[in-house]
Amino acid sequence: MRQMLDAGKFELEDKVVAIKRVSKTVKGGRNMRFSALVVVGDHNGHVGAGIGKATEIPEAIRKGREAAQKAVIEVPMDEQGSVPHDFTGKFGSAIVLLKKSVEGTGIIAGGPARNVLELAGYRNIRTKSLGANNKQNVVLATIEGLKSMKTPEEVARLRGKTVDELKD
């Protein structure tokens, strides 16, 4: 399993995926707060997502960015800028299908999944969001799928073989 990476080593770009206004009804009325879903990445195989909550939007975004930087992971990528193999990421009731693509395909993905894949640095990938379309769960399902994916080198090492032996 990949370890969480120290975000200080990378120049991370952030993107706000969603801002929600949430309210809590209390004795004196309603308390309004904001929740921000932020994705960070370096366009070179590192990506993370975080959620920040505060009474003001800029503060919620800052907290979300900090949470995302703490949760940065390294994702596998092949020489075409795609995933090593087709895989399905699941989080809650959201399911994201990640499909390997050839050079020139581009990023074919819905909004929340597109943000994650662009910041991770993928150039050719197709995705399909299945199940729930909740932005937070789609982002986390995409990251979960990327985190669980193994490169051919990792599979070969786990089986005690070379990559050429796996192709047979």
* pLDDT tens string 80-110: 889 998 999 999 999 999 999 999 999 999 8
Kindly list the domain boundaries of the chain, sorted by start residue.
Answer: 7-73, 76-159
Confidence of residue 161 (pLDDT cuts 50, 70, 90): confident
Q: Does domain 76-159 have CATH number 3.30.230.10?
A: yes
**Dist CA 92 CA 55 (whole Å):** 27
Residue bearing tokens 């994916």: 149
pTM equals 0.87
Range scoring the smallest mean pLDDT among 19-23, 113-117, 151-155: 151-155
Phi, psi at 118, each rounded to 5° = -65, -45
Query: Which CATH class, in words, describes the domain spanning 7-73?
Result: alpha beta
* Structure confidence at residue 158 (pLDDT): 87
- 2 pLDDT more than 50: no
Give the whole-angstrom CA distance, residue 34 versus residue 62.
12
Kindly report the length of the chain: 168
pLDDT tens-digit readout, 6-36: 555 668 899 999 999 999 999 999 999 999 9
Q: How many CB atoms lie within 10 A of CB 81?
A: 17
